Amino acid sequence: MLKGTGITKSFGGLKALNGVDFEVREGEIVGLIGPNGSGKTTLFNIISGLVRADSGHILFKDTPIHRLAPHRIAALGIGRTFQIVRPLMDFTLAQNVAMAVLFGRDPAEKPAGARETALGILEFTGLSEKAHALPGQLALEDRKRLEIARALAIKPEIILLDEVYAGLNHKEIEEAIELTFRIRNEWGITVFLIEHVMKAIMRTCSRVIALHNGEKIADGDPESVANKAEVISAYLGAGYAER
């Protein structure tokens, strides 16, 4: 469904990604892991068109997207969240999501219909009781759910989730894991997610890709990747990997 070949990106003298290959198959939940600065968000930014790769190619359902603008990539069916959420602070949750519906993949949506669709999405993400609240009134967990709701509002076929579990407590992580499965199982949306919470990665992902210093060091099932010496060394140091 989504395939990248030889993705390379430098910022000045820093090579953020160096010849990264990846693929996500339809219906998968794939995790992207790695220490801070390993290139994970840069890869998401390239996939979604916010940053242009220096070299390499990305195909979405056999369509090249690595030279397209973000709005055109979104229109093809790629939605995403951001690690630092930036909702429209002067608009209610319902209005935030309705605007995403109006500017999403269905140009026939009218304001009244967009509002109804938005309320349905808020119910799906557990925010229906706060539909008329402002984003500034939300706790962290709900701000992250709003970010997911806005991404779902464009009707994506694949969604890129950037650290949606970060900063949550145990109960909130469990609820976020459940929502991730529901996005795939009930809405039929493929999921590609960045995460540091390994519990969530091990529970949700059928496959994990690991990056370190801009290079792919592992790709496989969660347990084999988590136990790979290169991955342990990247996270904890060579001494732990030797043990």
Q: Are 198 and 177 in contact (CB under 8 A)?
A: no
pLDDT of the residue at 237: 63
Structure tokens at 188: 């039929």
Closest listed residue to residue 226, CA positions, set 207, 55, 66, 238: 207
Domains and CATH numbers, the chain: 1-77+158-243 (3.40.50.300), 85-155 (no CATH)
Task: Give the burial class of 215: count Cβ atoms within 10 A of its Cβ; 0-12 exposed, 13-18 middle, 19 or more buried.
Answer: middle
The tokens 């939300």 sit on which residue? 138
- pLDDT tens per residue, the chain (243 residues)? 999 999 999 999 899 999 999 999 999 999 999 999 999 999 999 999 999 999 999 999 999 999 999 999 999 999 999 998 989 999 999 999 999 999 888 766 678 889 999 999 999 999 999 999 999 999 999 999 999 999 999 999 999 999 999 889 999 999 999 999 999 999 999 999 999 898 899 999 999 999 999 999 999 999 999 999 999 988 766 554 455
CA–CA–CA angle 214, 215, 219 (5° rounding): 130
